Chains A and B, each alone.
Chain A
């Protein structure tokens, strides 16, 4: 996800292609935010079972693994849904 390219304001007479790029960039941003929110919920549930006065190193590494596993799960689900073989 690349947010580094500047985009012109919407509806300033730009081409359909540029508009489409802007739409796609905003969609990507929305997906990223949704994913982060989901990860917060899932990983807090799995890793921080009893909140203490700080996050232990065990809890921190659990969260890190949780993020990796969840993103891996997204790939597994995606391939499973969109592959042709049964």
Chain B
């Protein structure tokens, strides 16, 4: 069951991040493949979002 819950959380993270990163990175009409700048934006996006998330958590903890 624990494994299943992990899988659910992962799927939801991917769904949410794809939505956010699509809006940020795919600014023009979708083509038959991603441009190299769209592709690198997408590959960076998830990790930068995770980095930012850490900063937010640390920053809110230090303010307690």
Interface, chain A (partner B; CB < 8 A): 20, 23-24, 27, 31, 34-35, 38, 42-43, 46-47, 62, 65-66, 68-70, 72-74, 76-78, 80-82, 86
Contacts and interface: CB of A to CB of B under 8 A. Distances in A.
Specify the main secondary structure of chain B where it touches its partner: helix
Chain B, interface size category, equals 20 to 34
A38 B22 CA distance: 11
Nearest to A82: B10
Contacts, number: 72
Specify the main secondary structure of chain A where it touches its partner: helix
Nearest to A28: B11
B30 A81 contact: no
